[in-house]
Amino acid sequence: MPTALIVENDDDIREILTWLIRLHGLDAESAATGGETLANIGRHLDLVTLNPMLPDLDGFEVCEALRSCRATRLIPVLFITSLAMPEIRTRCVRAGGSAVLTMPFTPSSLFEALDEALARQGRSTEPGIGGRSD
């Protein structure tokens, strides 16, 4: 089953995202800061959800760091933000984000964004369809 890393500094939002992502059939790990994310990025990940506004390193810096590392540059990054301004969306894409989801969102729109990001990597949340067999 694919593994997602949820990077969100708000405890409640992180908990909800973790619950929804697990409900959708992915393993979920979490981090509250950009520094925590980069310090622990050595584990296998299939997807990262990322808040662009983190308390230490912002999400744009984290995404750029992921893109600059050979081991993580192909991991899809789904930015999840409450900031609906076009310039934020542009910054997310320029930093290397695969997609941007604006809050509030429905569970189905989150699931669709997750599926699209994983499909681009040849992965799936469906058993036996591109997913790992562990």
- CATH code of the domain containing 79: 3.40.50.2300
Q: For residue range 105-116, what is the model confidence (pLDDT) as tens digits?
A: 999 999 999 999
| Residue 127 to residue 133: CA distance in whole angstroms | 8
**Given this model, what pLDDT does residue 122 score?**
75
Number of domains present in the structure of the chain: 1
Q: For residue range 67-89, what is the model confidence (pLDDT) as tens digits?
A: 999 989 999 999 999 988 899 99
Average pLDDT across the chain, whole number: 90
**Given this model, what pLDDT does residue 79 score?**
97
103 found inside a domain:
yes
Query: Which pTM value belongs to this model?
Result: 0.88
130 found inside a domain:
no
125 found inside a domain:
no
134 found inside a domain:
no
126 found inside a domain:
no
Q: Which residues contact 53 (CB under 8 A, 6 or more apart)?
A: 9, 59, 81, 83
Read off the pLDDT band of 53 (50, 70, 90): very high
